[in-house]
Each structure stands twice: as structure tokens, then as C-alpha cells.
């Protein structure tokens, strides 16, 4: 079976040469769209869960040799898969990247400390764990529905903070160069919702800054953020904010969309959220093509009315 110039059998054989056990774990027509927070869209040509950096490098080697594109998925936010699927290999990080190392904060209030965390840990999970230990500085993460790895790649943020404020360094695997190593925060060129890391870079762990705080105080701030999010952002099937603010701190994408009266604008099974204009909701069992169609109309209307060309935060797989 060939997909855009590469052969799934050849990819599996390439993995089998290196690790027969890992090759057995590869699935054809693997779930992809339903792994995203949109929970719509098709399958990937192949999929596998890796349980070590060595396995990740091995999959990268086999994919590179046969020309297969690779996507590493964490929590699936900011990701949309075509209804027709994607002709590539989707990789999930296993338990080796699902860990948190932090000691209970027992120093003086405000004293700095270091938190180690695996790349597939969900930001809300990390935020709540730190609150339970009295570690401050990562409360904002409770409102970001992604993983550490994805958050580093896009310099995710919210509530006046982002990854650049918290990050010390990361362990990165480069699937193109078949290398791994640590990179300091200053090497990542973190900017508003962007970084120097591309799709071939996989963040498998990170070290973050925290400070000693009071458990009750940190926990209260976490719950305040959760309450704010429930009041101002929709639940259901979406990917979080769709468009990057064109002028951070000054011009909001949501406000531009809202001013054009586009809340509730619908195409088929997708609509601009009535609760927050920078969210696009999908119906249960909806179509990814409808989401993309809504995105296109919103972008065109904002450009025509204001001159701002909105940049999407969403990674699209399988679309032309």
C-alpha cells in the first residue's frame, strides 16, 4: 500500500529490522482524528506508541529511509485531521515520558526550585500536582489543554504567562538528524505562540522553574483560573484558540472576529463559539472539512474588514 510516495509495508519492515517487537505494535489505519481534542477526522496510514527514546529514534530512522512523514501527538489540542485521514505515521509517547519529579516545597516562600517533567504530561495535571505540593509559578498551565512537549513547541501560554517564563531547558529528539540532546530555553527562540522547533523535533522532557509557595494559596489561584475558564471559554469539541492574536497584548483575534458579528456563524457541523469568538466548535460526529471551511471564512472576513491576516495556531493534517 503506497501513500504519497512511501510504502507502509516498507516502513514496517524497516522497523522490524531494528526491533521485531516494536514492529508488531504498529497499527495500520491507526486512530488519529479521534486522538485530538476535536475528536473528528480520519486515520493515519500507520501508528505506534514508543516506550523509550531509542524506540522513538528507531521509528524516525525507518520513516526517514522510506520517506514517510511523522507526527508526534500528545493531548491532541491545536490539531485537526482531515476526514479523509493523513498519509503518515502518527507516534505517541508511552509511559517513559509521563512522569513528574518535584519535592514538596519546604523552603522559604518565594525560594526558587526546579521541576522535572516528561514531555507527554498534560499541563493541567502538572499544575494541579504542583499546587498540591505548594509549588507556585505554574498555576496558569491548568487552563491549557495540551502536553508539555506541544506547549514548548508553540510556546503555549495563558493568564499572563507562557512557557518562556517557566522553561529552563528541554531534552529534544531530532527525527531528521537522528540526534538527541538538551537545549537551553535561550536556544529555542521562543516567541508569541512559536519557537524554533519544527514537526521533526520531539520534546521528551523539560525542566521548569517554580518557587516555594503555600499550598492553600497556590491551590486557590489554580481554582480561580479553572473558574474563569469555565465562565469564558467553551467546553465540548474544539482545539482551544484557533488564531494567534495579531498584535499580542494589543489586538486580539477573538475581538476582531467578535466585532464582525461572527459568533454562532456555522457551516455544516462546525460553528464559531457563541461563548468565545476565537474558538470553533465541532458537533459530535462532525466533519473536519466544515471546521476548516469556517476557519477560511473567518480569516477572509477579518482580512477584508481590518487588514489583519490571522495566523492559525492549528496544525492541519491531510488537507490540501
Q: Give the model confidence (pLDDT) of 74-125 as tens digits.
A: 999 999 999 999 999 999 999 999 999 998 777 789 999 999 999 999 999 9
Residue 278 has what pLDDT?
97
**222/106 same-domain check:** yes
Angstrom distance (rounded) from CA 277 to CA 134:
35
The last residue of one of the domains, among 232, 263, 292, is 232
Tell me if 126 is assigned to some domain.
yes
Instruction: Based on the fold, state whether residues 106 and 88 are members of the same structural domain.
Output: no
Question: Within a domain: residue 238?
Answer: no
Q: Residues 241-254: what's their mean pLDDT?
A: 94
pTM above 0.85, yes or no: yes
Q: Domain of residue 26: give its range.
A: 2-93
pLDDT reading at 243 higher than 60: yes
Look at residue 135 and tell me if it is in a domain.
yes
Select which of 77, 120, 241, 312 is catalytic. Answer: 241
Q: What percent of the chain has pLDDT over 90?
A: 93
Whether residue 107 is contained in a domain is answered as yes
Phi and psi at residue 217, in whole multiples of 5°? -65, -45
Catalytic residue of the set 75, 183, 193, 207: 193
254: confidence class by pLDDT, cuts 50, 70, 90: very high
pLDDT digits (tens, 9 = 90+) for 152-166: 999 999 888 999 999
Please check whether residues 187 and 306 belong to one and the same domain: no
CATH number of the domain to which 265 belongs: 3.90.78.10
Residues 164 and 142 in one domain: yes
> Is residue 2 predicted with pLDDT exceeding 60?
no
- What is the pLDDT, as a whole number, of residue 103? 81
What's the grid cell of residue 261?
A: 458579528
Average pLDDT over residues 230-248: 94
The residue from 93, 115, 139 where one domain ends is 93
143 and 207 in a single domain? The answer is yes
193 labelled catalytic: yes
What CATH number is given to the structural domain containing 102? 3.30.465.10
| Mean pLDDT to the nearest integer, 293-314 | 97
pLDDT in tens, 124-142: 999 999 999 999 999 999 9
Confidence of residue 4 (pLDDT cuts 50, 70, 90): low
**What CATH number did the domain enclosing 63 receive?**
3.30.43.10
Q: Is a pLDDT exceeding 50 seen at residue 61?
A: yes
Q: What is the pLDDT of residue 222?
A: 98
Does the pLDDT value for residue 3 go beyond 80? no
Instruction: Show the DSSP H helices in the chain as ranges.
Output: 8-18, 20-24, 53-66, 123-133, 148-153, 163-166, 215-232, 253-259, 288-306
**pLDDT in the model for residue 1:** 37
Q: How far is CA 316 from the centre of its chain?
A: 12
127 is catalytic: no
Q: Is residue 242 part of a domain?
A: no
3-state DSSP assignment of residue 318: coil
Please indicate, yes or no, whether residues 193 and 215 belong to a single structural domain of this protein.
yes
Task: Judge whether 247 lies within some domain.
Answer: no
282 and 267 together in one domain: yes
Residue 266 sits at the vertex; the CA angle it makes with 261 and 268, to the nearest 5 degrees, is 170
Same domain, 210 and 276: no
Question: Do 285 and 223 belong to one domain?
Answer: no
Are 183 and 150 found together in one domain?
yes
Rounded to whole angstroms, what are the CA distances from 76 to 34, 39, 71, 258, 266? 9, 9, 11, 26, 23
* pLDDT for res 104: 75
Task: Mark whether 207 and 289 lie in a shared domain.
Answer: no
The DSSP bridge partners found for residue 89 are: 46, 70
The mean pLDDT value of the chain amounts to 95
Q: Answer yes or no: do 88 and 117 share one domain.
A: no
Question: Which of 93, 116, 143 is a domain's end point?
Answer: 93
Domain count, the chain: 3
Specify if 237 maps to a domain.
no
In a domain, 138, yes or no: yes
**Residue 4 designated active-site:** no
Q: What is the pLDDT of residue 192?
A: 87
Amino acid at each position: 500500500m503506497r501513500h504519497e510516495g512511501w510504502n507502509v509495508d516498507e516502513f514496517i519492515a524497516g522497523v522490524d529490522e531494528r526491533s521485531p517487537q516494536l514492529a508488531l505494535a504498529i497499527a495500520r489505519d491507526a486512530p488519529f482524528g479521534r486522538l485530538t481534542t476535536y475528536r473528528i477526522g480520519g486515520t493515519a496510514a500507520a501508528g505506534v506508541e514508543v516506550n523509550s527514546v531509542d524506540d522513538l529514534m528507531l521509528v524516525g530512522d525507518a520513516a526517514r529511509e522510506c520517506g514517510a512523514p511523522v507526527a508526534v501527538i500528545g493531548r491532541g489540542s491545536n490539531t485537526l485531521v482531515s476526514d479523509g485521514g493523513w498519509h503518515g505515521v502518527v507516534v505517541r509517547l508511552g509511559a517513559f515520558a509521563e512522569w513528574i519529579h518535584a519535592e514538596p516545597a519546604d523552603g522559604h516562600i518565594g525560594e526558587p526550585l526546579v521541576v522535572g517533567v516528561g514531555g507527554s504530561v498534560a499541563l493541567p495535571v502538572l499544575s494541579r500536582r504542583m499546587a498540591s505540593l505548594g509549588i507556585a509559578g505554574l498555576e496558569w498551565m491548568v487552563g491549557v489543554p495540551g502536553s508539555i512537549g506541544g506547549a514548548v513547541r508553540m510556546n503555549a501560554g495563558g493568564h499572563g504567562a507562557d512557557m518562556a517564563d517557566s522553561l529552563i531547558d528541554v531534552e529534544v529528539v531530532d527525527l531528521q538528524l537522528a540526534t538527541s540532546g538538551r537545549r537551553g530555553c535561550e536556544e529555542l527562540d521562543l516567541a508569541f505562540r512559536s519557537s524554533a522547533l519544527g514537526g521533526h523535533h520531539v520534546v521528551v522532557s523539560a525542566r521548569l522553574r517554580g518557587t516555594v509557595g503555600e499550598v492553600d494559596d497556590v491551590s486557590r489561584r489554580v481554582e480561580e483560573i479553572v473558574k474563569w475558564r469555565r465562565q469564558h471559554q467553551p467546553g465540548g469539541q474544539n482545539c482551544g484558540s484557533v488564531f494567534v492574536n495579531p498584535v499580542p497584548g494589543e489586538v486580539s483575534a477573538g475581538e476582531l472576529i467578535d466585532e464582525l458579528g461572527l459568533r454562532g456563524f456555522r457551516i455544516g457541523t462546525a460553528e464559531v463559539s457563541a461563548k468565545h469568538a476565537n474558538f470553533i466548535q465541532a458537533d459530535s460526529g462532525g466533519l473536519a472539512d466544515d471546521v476548516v471551511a469556517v476557519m477560511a471564512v473567518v480569516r477572509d472576513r477579518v482580512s477584508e474588514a481590518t487588514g489583519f491576516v490571522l495566523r492559525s495556531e492549528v496544525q492541519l493534517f491531510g488537507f490540501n
